[in-house]
C-alpha cells in the first residue's frame, strides 16, 4: 500500500514499485483518499471513454506546504491578500513542488492511467476566503460524438483546521479506501 501517490509522479519510482510488486506477486494498492468519484473515473478510463480530467484544489494559503518556485508564488499571493492561482497545468511537475498537498490529484492520475500524470490537469488555488475548508473540484469529460460529450463536475468541501494540510474528512476517506482493498464483495453489491 502506498500512502502518498505523489511518489508515483517520478517515473523511476513508479517503475521500481510496480516491478517489486510484480516480483513478489503482489498488487500495488493506492488509496483514493479525498478523490470523489474515483471508481467512476477508473471505469471510464478502462472503457476508453475518458477524454479529460482536471482537479482543482483550493485551500487557505496557510494550508500549503510548497517547495521551490511555488513557495515564492505563494508568498506573493499572501502579500497581495486575495485569491490566487498558484499553478495550472499538467500534474507531474506539480507533485514534487507540493507533495503534501496534491495526493488527491495524484490519486486521479492513478485512477486514469490513459491520462496519467502528464494528461491530468491540475489547478492549485490559494484563497484566504476559505480559512477552514479544503475544496476539491473534479471535472471529468468523456469522449464525445459530434461535439457533444458527457461532463461531470463534483465539488467536495472538506472541513479543515486553520493551517492544516489535510482536511478533517480525509483521514476517514483514506482509511475507508484502504479497507476497500479487501476483495470480499459487500452483502448487497451495487452496480
Please state the length of the chain: 191
**Cα(189)–Cα(73) distance, rounded to whole angstroms?**
47
pLDDT, tens only, 135-182 = 999 999 999 877 789 999 999 998 887 776 665 455 545 545 555 544
pTM: 0.81
Grid cell locating 67: 517547495
pLDDT in the model for residue 1: 53
How far, rounded to the nearest angstrom, does the alpha carbon of residue 124 sit from its chain's CA centroid?
A: 11
**What's the maximum distance between 2 C-alpha atoms anywhere in the chain?**
54
Which CATH entry fits the domain spanning 34-162: 3.40.630.30, 3.30.360.10, 3.40.50.300, 2.170.190.11?
3.30.360.10
In this prediction, residue 167 carries a pLDDT of 53
* Cα-based torsion angle of the residue sequence 79, 83, 84, 89 in order, rounded to the nearest 10 degrees: 160
- Report, in angstroms and rounded to the nearest whole number, the Rg of the chain calculated over CA atoms: 17
At 171 the pLDDT is: 52
Is 9 in contact with 95 (CB distance < 8 Å)? yes
> DSSP assignment, residue 153?
E
pLDDT at 183: 47
Domain boundaries, the chain: 34-162
As a whole number of angstroms, the distance between CA 77 and CA 127 comes to 9
How many C-beta atoms surround the C-beta of residue 40 within 10 A? 15
In the chain, alpha helices (H): 11-23, 38-47, 69-80, 91-94, 103-111, 116-119, 168-179
Low-confidence ranges of the chain (pLDDT < 70): 1-3, 28-30, 32, 164-191
Neighbours of 110 (CB within 10 A): 22
Which among 153, 118, 116, 121 is positioned nearest to 137, based on CA atoms? Answer: 153
pLDDT value at residue 4 = 75
Amino acid at each position: 500500500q502506498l500512502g502518498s501517490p505523489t511518489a508515483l509522479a517520478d517515473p523511476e519510482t513508479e517503475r521500481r514499485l510496480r516491478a517489486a510488486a510484480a516480483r513478489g506477486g503482489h498488487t500495488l494498492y493506492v488509496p483514493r483518499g479525498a478523490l470523489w468519484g474515483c471508481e467512476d473515473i477508473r471505469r471510464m478510463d478502462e472503457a476508453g471513454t475518458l477524454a479529460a480530467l482536471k482537479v482543482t484544489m483550493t485551500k487557505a494559503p496557510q494550508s500549503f506546504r510548497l517547495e521551490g518556485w511555488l513557495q515564492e508564488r505563494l508568498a506573493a499571493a499572501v502579500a497581495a491578500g486575495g485569491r490566487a492561482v498558484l499553478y495550472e497545468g499538467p500534474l507531474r511537475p506539480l507533485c514534487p513542488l507540493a507533495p503534501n498537498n496534491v495526493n488527491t490529484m495524484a490519486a486521479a492520475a492513478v485512477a486514469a492511467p490513459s491520462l496519467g500524470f502528464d494528461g491530468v490537469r491540475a489547478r492549485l488555488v490559494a484563497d484566504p476566503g476559505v480559512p477552514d475548508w479544503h475544496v476539491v473540484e473534479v471535472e471529468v469529460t468523456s469522449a464525445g460524438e459530434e461535439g457533444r460529450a458527457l461532463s461531470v463536475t463534483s465539488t467536495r468541501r472538506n472541513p479543515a483546521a486553520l493551517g492544516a494540510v489535510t482536511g478533517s474528512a480525509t483521514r476517514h476517506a483514506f482509511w475507508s479506501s484502504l479497507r476497500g482493498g479487501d476483495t470480499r464483495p459487500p452483502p448487497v453489491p451495487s452496480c
